[in-house]
Amino acid sequence: MPHQFQHFLRWLQGGSLKLLLGMGGLLLVWGTLAPVGTLVWWFNQNAETLGLKRSSLQQAPSNPSADASSDSRPINCYIIFFPGVGDFSKNQLTPGEETFLDRLVQQHPNCVAVRDVFPYSVANKDLSAERFLTPLWQAAEEAKGWLDTADALIKVRNLWRFAISADDRYGPVYNRGIANTVIDRMDAAHPLSQRRGNALNLILIGTSGGVQVALGAAPYLDRWLQNPAITVISLGGTFNGENGFDAIDQMYHLRGQRDWVENLSYFFPSRWPWTVASPFNRAQQQGRFHVIKTGPHSHSGQTGYLGLARLKPQLRYVDLTFQTIHQLPIWQRPSHPFPGPGKANPG
């Protein structure tokens, strides 16, 4: 051990310490400036685009170019997918994610899937839209071989957006913008004005940090969509235990045996058992938060919740996740929306 420590000191003396300190300083500056984009976006909006005047489904945007073939189906269910922090753009779903959403829609034809929400941009813009840093993001995305670790830059960048969503100061602005995007993309998938019946079943499915953003958007979706039935499904997600729990009806947190990342959520005090008055603990007490052990899933990759590796010849990791979610009692709702036991709209 002493020999290894001496080797580590020599490594630091070789200039690596300066590199590490420089990277640490860069990350701190990066985090300090992260909210600027959100505030700039906010100042460039008006009451209509922010959804401040949106109080009913009739006032939601209408997209005449939405798929006309879907209009014949009695759609009353929207599945909105929030990808993890490794995502680069709103159109970057993995084959496993696509397979998972396709099967859900196939099994539940009253549902449509919203696949183009990028939870790490308040304006729903890909990282390639950040002109100054576009070469950096593209290089990190396309890196091969030993440079594969460069995609950690994308994850760090997106983690700062996760932090903004959970922040008491900037979160309300960021989460309102994400909720506005969700409604726009829902309307694009199937026009809200043509939705059949009165009940609206809203299922927010997220992985990793996408779960925090989904919860942050939930209170605004609850208000703007006239009290829909909102279910959040977390695939090993990370969340602070404050945002959204008073607006949702149910939350199901799927936990894999080999997923250690989801344990990081317990760094948030509101997730601790003795903070009994936190929104998270109230949801637990009211029976609205459920933990489901899924089996040998890891946090991400081919053995993750939506991975395509095989457990058995006829069973993939994504199949195991699909079976778990397909069996949840969330796919049929009453003919009229109803308030959950803890729902409370934001001001």
pLDDT band at residue 16 under the 50/70/90 scheme:
very low
List the Cα angle 208/214/216 in 5-degree steps: 115
What φ, ψ does residue 199 adopt, rounded to 5°? -80, 140
Judged by average pLDDT, the poorest of 47-56, 80-89, 200-209 is 47-56
User: Six-digit token pair at 146?
Assistant: 């030993």
Place of tokens 């590199």: 19
CA atoms within 13 A on the CB side of 195: 27
Q: Is the pLDDT of residue 21 over 80?
A: no
Residue 271, helix vs strand vs coil: helix
Q: Is the pLDDT of residue 293 over 60?
A: yes
Residue 339, helix vs strand vs coil: coil
Beta strands 315-316 and 310-312 are antiparallel
Instruction: Work out the average pLDDT over 182-206.
Output: 86
CA–CA dist 104, 99 (Å, integer): 9
Instruction: Work out the average pLDDT over 29-54.
Output: 53
Entry pTM: 0.79
Q: Is the pLDDT of residue 229 over 80?
A: yes
Residue 235, helix vs strand vs coil: strand
| CATH class of the domain whose range is 77-117+132-326 | alpha beta
Number of C-beta neighbours around residue 22 at 10 A: 10
Cα 51 vs. chain centroid, distance in angstroms?
20
Judged by average pLDDT, the poorest of 74-88, 151-165, 230-244, 277-291 is 151-165
pLDDT band at residue 169 under the 50/70/90 scheme:
confident
Q: Tens of pLDDT along 68-108?
A: 444 566 889 999 999 988 776 667 799 999 999 999 999 99
Q: Tens of pLDDT along 108-122?
A: 999 999 999 988 888
CA–CA dist 150, 146 (Å, integer): 9
**Does residue 292 or residue 173 have the better pLDDT?**
292
